[in-house]
Amino acid sequence: MIKKSASNSFSEIIDFIKSLYPEEIPVPLHAPRFVGREKEYVVDAIGSTFVSSVGEYVDRFEEMICRITGTAFAVATVNGTCALHIALDLAGVQPGDEVITQPLSFVATANTISYCGAKPIFLDVSRKTLGLDPTALKEFLKSNTQTTNQGCYNKATGKRIAACAPMHTFGHPCQIDSIAGICEHYNIALIEDAAESFGSFYNGRHTGTFGLFGVYSFNGNKTVTCGGGGAIVTNDETFAKKAKHITTTAKVQHPYEYIHDAIGYNYRLPNLNAALACAQLEQLDFFLENKRELAKIYQDFFGLLDIPFVCEPDYARSSFWLNAIILLDRKTRDEFLKATNEAKVMTRPVWKLLNQLEMYQDCQTDALINAQWLEDRVVNIPSSVRI
């Protein structure tokens, strides 16, 4: 995959990336860009004195999310992890249940399953999309489960498989329509972890809109950020109302009494953060086009070096949140990570597979052949919007 000697190729890559970000040394992996009305909106929120979980910017943020994604309802949360937790909870995931997901993901995907008292099942990913492989999902369910009137049950554990939570890795949509069809056949709730794919589309439809719920993250390293921030989207009004209620400590509306009718969570997004988010969302089209231009530049450059660049699937329009390359083997990967970071060009490996983390080592998996292959080779490279 590398025509020249590794050291020469690494130097060429480092120099090239630095040339793309000449005013940013060290070159960050993904830095936020505040070039719109961010300061204006934040100052306005401060002046209103509504800086906590109530304010016009929270409402505006939710309306903008609905308009961009094409969903009927959006509920703002303090971060994407909280959004995924609530989505799983409202989908009916209960203590003792199991939830199918992928091992190639940020730890929050598995952690939120644990928050519900459930246990992850890790199935393999596709080398093309880096997301959950529908073939692996179908084969696992066909060979390892039985369905009853009460749901889909794991024959090995006797536990109910309550949900499936695929993740759109680095902003590249997985084969979500196939996954949705399989989940429907087995009566398994589909919750999309679209934390990394805000602005990505599968066959013209925004990611996060294929399941019962979709969730997004607006963390400081995302395409659009408000420091933290997350959102739950759904087309079900009842679920949307429940999500808003349970994320605001389940407080019953009353002029002055403190009445709570359920165990709730303090997960709502502050108006101060929402003000920042609204200004960022106004620039989404610019950010996405800028990042697509960068991805094309990378694709052409790494093509000359015969190093595979992770491209968007044929059916997708990806946000290219983080650009990624696939190196020859783990040894080359580690040498590349060392050389680039020492040269002040921030790169990182893909996450350690979740089933290898201490708290998830006893979780059921399939062979995970593709996931392990990718873990050994995938590296993220600087992906900030270029100004």
Task: Give per-residue pLDDT as tens, 338-368.
Answer: 999 999 999 999 999 999 999 999 999 999 9
Q: Please tell me the distance from the alpha carbon of residue 300 to that of residue 298, in angstroms, as a whole number.
A: 5
1 pLDDT exceeds 60?
no
Q: In percent, how much of the chain has pLDDT > 90?
A: 97
Among 260, 252, 170, 162, residue whose Cα is nearest residue 212: 162
Instruction: Grade residue 2 by pLDDT with cuts at 50, 70 and 90.
Output: very low
Query: In this structure, are residues 373 and 365 in contact, taking their beta carbons and an 8 Å threshold?
Result: no
CB-count burial class (<10 Å; 0-12, 13-18, 19+) for 12: middle
CA angle 136, 313, 197 (to 5 degrees): 85
The pLDDT tens digits for 100-147 are: 999 999 999 999 999 999 999 999 999 999 999 999 999 999 999 999
* Helix, strand or coil, per DSSP, at residue 198: coil
Write the Ramachandran bin of 43: left for phi over 0, alpha for psi from -120 to 50, otherwise beta: alpha
Helices 6-20 and 284-304 pack at an angle, to 10 degrees, of 150
Average pLDDT over residues 277-300: 98
Q: Please tell me the distance from the alpha carbon of residue 37 to that of residue 381, in angstroms, as a whole number.
A: 28
- Buried-state track 161-185, b at ≥16 Cβ within 10 A, e below 16: bbbbbbbbbbbbbbbbeebbebbee
148 pLDDT exceeds 80?
yes
C-beta atoms surrounding 256 within 10 Å? 4
Ranges assigned E (strand) in 97-248: 98-101, 119-122, 145-148, 151-154, 161-165, 189-193, 201-202, 205-206, 213-217, 230-234
Average pLDDT over residues 244-269: 96
- Average per-residue pLDDT in the chain? 96
Q: Please tell me the distance from the alpha carbon of residue 3 to that of residue 180, in angstroms, as a whole number.
A: 41
Q: List domains and CATH numbers for the chain.
A: 6-33+284-381 (3.90.1150.10), 38-281 (3.40.640.10)
Amino acid 54: pLDDT: 86
The pLDDT tens digits for 182-205 are: 999 999 999 999 999 999 999 999
Q: Give me the helices (H) in 200-321, please.
A: 237-246, 271-281, 284-304
Amino acid 38: pLDDT: 98
Helical (H) or strand (E) element with 61: helix 56-69
* Token pair in block for residue 368: 């995970």
* Token pair in block for residue 159: 């536990």
Among 181, 149, 150, 148, residue whose Cα is nearest residue 164: 181
The pLDDT tens digits for 82-106 are: 999 999 999 999 999 999 999 999 9
- Give CA separation, 248 vs 61, 341, 384, in Å: 17, 42, 33
* Token pair in block for residue 124: 């393999």
318 pLDDT exceeds 90?
yes
- What is the CA 1 to chain-centroid distance, rounded? 29
